[in-house]
Amino acid sequence: MEATARELPFPVWLAAIFGFAKAGFLALMGVIGVLAWNGVSDPWGIGSLIMAALFGIASYMLMRGNRVARIVLAALAVIGGVTAIVFAFIGPTSAILPSITTAVLDAIVLWLLYGVRSSKEYFGT
């Protein structure tokens, strides 16, 4: 018998694309951080590269319909959103708008994964 594959709903696909975009951005920032290691007071390049890898792997697995990847990507979005909100208050004033934008994008990912009916149906929740 041939198994029928379920089609990936658009909201889940879009959440994975957001994850890939964030992974690419974090990877770029990680490379910059590693290259500027001696010139910065707080080295953050390795952490950024690790987060990029986690986002990339979770996004790839989400595109394959993995339920655990949904949870991991949501957890990474929560961590990123909370970190962005905190940085909006403790960072420089030039970081307020980018931090709020990051938090909003993380909230959109959470909504796409858990708030849309087609996503809930696809993952069986």
**Cβ pair 95, 52 in contact under 8 A:** no
pLDDT band at residue 39 using 50, 70 and 90 as cut-offs? low
Give the mean model confidence (pLDDT) for residues 92-112. 88
pLDDT band at residue 11 using 50, 70 and 90 as cut-offs? very high
pTM: 0.83
Cα dihedral sign, 33-95-92-79: negative
Residues with Cβ within 8 Å of residue 21, at least 6 apart in sequence: none
pLDDT at 64: 93
Would you list the domain boundaries of the chain? 10-34+43-123
d(CA 99, CA 92): 10
For residue 79, give Cα distances in angstroms to 3, 42, 62.
37, 20, 18
pLDDT at 3: 41
